[in-house]
């Protein structure tokens, strides 16, 4: 493993010396993939102890409709507080609202923030805005959603194809040669991550002749939209016995299959939110994959500060995904997966 402990010694020393520091503040070091070479190199990540000045950072999210993005928000908020910087967050209200995110990007530029962190709705849609920021000397840090080509100063996102493949492999191993009739609900078309999740899942099940993919239904990652898709699929595919898809789809599926009298239908989520954790504990879903969204938020803030202060940083950080079923819960650092149950979304942080 590459020993890339970024600022770890200084961070640990500062934690011990700082009068208000708590052990709970130390979320590092954590294993990630350093993708700067174009290939995954396992590394240990640790943040700076504190920012040199109270930078002003603007953050853009696709939405805050589910606890996945609330978890990213928690990581952003807590790291901004720990580092002593200012943060302002805007959310676009959904993946169908690219024009709103573009307008919010313009607002960040006009307000003269020092850096912009964005969870991009669309790479193609945001590329021109990122070029404008680049020309203006304004660093843009992309987090969570894939952005392989746009001119971001840094990016952090999981290999979604690998993550989808994990879920497909899990299903193959779980079925052990039994017949499975699957319908996929990957999420919003054009988002990039939904297609990659879907491709990985299909790659994993391709070699198992007992697992048949009946259909693929793309749609916005809101529970209401996914519920409509699932209800239609329950009518259209009477032999469907596995529902695979994004977390809101899995959340919607729990009640839909119960109402339809199809309680034996297995449900697997391609990623995590609070509903997935609760459902797993209640045996309502089989498993979910995680990309550690709290970690992605924390790393985004640390990376923004590093760039602004001209300190070493990874240009592409990839979380190492994990597959979680009930037996694995105790092995996972859930503080890097989901926000605490009592955390409410926060849209600003003021430096002390």
pLDDT on residue 4? 42
Domain end marker among 275, 290, 305: 290
What pLDDT was estimated at residue 12? 35
Count CB neighbours of 198 within 10 A: 26
Q: What is the pLDDT of residue 72?
A: 98
* Cα gap 159→176, rounded to integer Å: 26
Residues 110 and 215 in one domain: no
Residue 271 lies in a domain: yes
- Banded model confidence at residue 9, pLDDT cuts 50, 70, 90: very low
The yes-or-no verdict on residue 77 having pLDDT over 50 is yes
CATH number at residue 198: 3.40.50.2300
pLDDT at 81: 98
Provide the pLDDT confidence category of residue 15 given band limits of 50, 70 and 90: very low
pLDDT digits over 285-336, tens only? 999 999 999 999 999 999 999 999 999 999 999 999 999 999 988 889 999 9
Could you list the residue range(s) of the whole structural domain that residue 172 is in? 160-290
Predicted local confidence at residue 330, as pLDDT: 86
One domain, residues 13 and 153: yes
- Domain total of the chain: 2
Is 80 exceeded by the pLDDT of residue 13?
no
pLDDT for residue 241 is more than 90 = yes
Residue 1 lies in a domain: no
Mean pLDDT for the chain? 92
Q: What is the pLDDT of residue 331?
A: 87
- The torsion of the CA quartet 338, 339, 340, 345, rounded to 10 degrees, works out to -150
pLDDT band per the 50, 70, 90 thresholds, residue 276: very high
Give this prediction's pTM: 0.86
| Residue 2's pLDDT band (cuts 50, 70, 90) | very low
Q: Which of 134, 123, 200 is nearest to 164 (CA)?
A: 200
pLDDT confidence of 7, banded at 50, 70, 90? very low
Per-residue pLDDT reduced to its tens digit, 171-207:
999 999 899 999 999 999 999 999 999 999 999 999 8
Q: Give how far Cα 341 sits from Cα of 140, 184, 249, 275, 348, Å.
A: 30, 29, 21, 11, 19
Confidence of residue 263 (pLDDT cuts 50, 70, 90): confident
Among 270, 290, 310, which residue terminates a domain? 290
Alpha-carbon distance of 188 to 18, in angstroms, equals: 45
Residues 49 and 154 in one domain: yes
Q: Do 106 and 124 have their domain in common?
A: yes
Alpha-carbon 253 to chain mean position = 21
High-pLDDT (> 90) share of the chain, %: 88
């Amino acid at each position: 493993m590459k020993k890339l402990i970024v600022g770890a010694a200084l961070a640990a020393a500062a934690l011990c010396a700082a009068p208000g520091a708590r052990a709970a503040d130390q979320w590092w070091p954590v294993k990630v993939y350093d993708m700067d070479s174009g290939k995954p190199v396992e590394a240990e990540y640790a943040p700076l102890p504190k920012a040199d000045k109270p930078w002003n950072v603007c953050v853009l999210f696709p939405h805050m409709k589910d606890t996945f993005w609330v978890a990213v928000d928690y990581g952003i908020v807590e790291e901004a507080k720990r580092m002593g910087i200012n943060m302002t967050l805007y959310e676009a209200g959904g993946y169908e609202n690219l024009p709103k995110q573009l307008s919010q990007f313009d607002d960040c530029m006009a307000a003269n923030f020092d850096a912009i962190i964005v969870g991009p709705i669309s790479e193609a849609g945001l590329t021109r805005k990122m070029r404008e920021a680049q020309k203006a000397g304004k660093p843009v840090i992309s987090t969570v959603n894939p952005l392989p080509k746009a001119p971001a100063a840094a990016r952090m996102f999981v290999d979604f194809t690998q993550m989808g493949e994990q879920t497909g492999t899990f299903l193959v191993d779980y079925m052990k040669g039994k017949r499975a009739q699957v319908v996929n609900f990957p999420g919003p078309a054009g988002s990039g991550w939904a297609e990659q999740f879907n491709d990985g899942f299909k790659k994993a099940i391709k070699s198992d002749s007992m697992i048949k993919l009946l259909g693929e239904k793309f749609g916005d990652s809101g529970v209401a939209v996914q519920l409509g898709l699932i209800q239609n699929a329950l009518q259209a595919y009477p032999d469907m016995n596995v529902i695979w898809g994004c977390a809101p789809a899995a959340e919607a599926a729990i009640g839909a299959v119960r109402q339809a009298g199809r309680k034996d239908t297995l449900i697997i989520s391609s990623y995590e939110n609070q509903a997935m954790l609760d459902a797993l504990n209640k045996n309502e879903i089989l498993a979910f994959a995680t990309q550690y969204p709290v970690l992605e938020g924390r790393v985004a803030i640390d990376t923004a500060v590093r760039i602004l202060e001209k300190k070493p940083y990874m240009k592409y950080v990839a979380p190492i995904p994990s597959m979680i079923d009930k037996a694995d819960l105790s092995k996972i650092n859930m503080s890097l997966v989901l926000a605490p149950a009592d955390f409410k979304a926060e849209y600003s942080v003021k430096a002390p």
